[in-house]
Amino acid sequence: MSALLLTVGSMFGAWSPAFAFSLPKDHVFPRIFTPNGDGINDVVYFNVVNPSLDSLEGKIYDANGNPVASIRFDSYLSVPGSDATERWVWDGKDGNGNTVRAGIYIYEIRGGGDVVTGTVVVAK
């Protein structure tokens, strides 16, 4: 069962036309990351299947629901079995460019009237 509030797609990234975009749970990685500058798991990637090319917005919140940062668009990917996959990334920094504290963070991606949420963990 997916930890997402809105379950869209399959574990293979198949898109359902009932939704503007999808973010299968295996398209968020690594779920636990360490933004310490060592080049290993310094960022978390969100590979969003967006065949309609809807305008998307991604945000990060702390465990109390306070806004922390925006998720930024990185690039378009070619993923077998998926259409128009966009790579979004969060580097573990807040809106002021400071590395956030270790803990659980909530991601939210909105677009085309749909919302997908889930969690990632920042470890130190």
Q: Is the pTM of this model over 0.85?
A: no
At residue 79 the predicted structure's pLDDT band, cuts being 50, 70 and 90, is low
- All structural domains of the chain: 25-122 (2.60.40.4070)
Two tokens, residue 53: 């090319």
pLDDT tens digits, 23-62 = 888 899 999 999 999 999 999 999 998 888 889 999 999 9
3-state secondary structure 18-57: CCCCECCHHHEECCEECCCCCCCCCCEEEEEECCCCCCCE
Confidence of residue 11 (pLDDT cuts 50, 70, 90): very low
Is-contact 4 108, C-beta < 8 A? Answer: no
Please enumerate in sequence order all residues whose Cβ is within 8 A of that of 81, keeping only pairs 6 or more positions apart, or say none: 12, 13, 14
> Which of the four pLDDT bands, split at 50, 70 and 90, describes residue 91?
very high
In the structure, what pLDDT confidence band is assigned to residue 16 with cuts at 50, 70 and 90?
Answer: very low
DSSP secondary structure code for residue 16 in this structure: P
Q: What is the dihedral of CA 97, 98, 104, 109, to 10 degrees?
A: -10
The predicted model gives 9-25 an average pLDDT of: 57
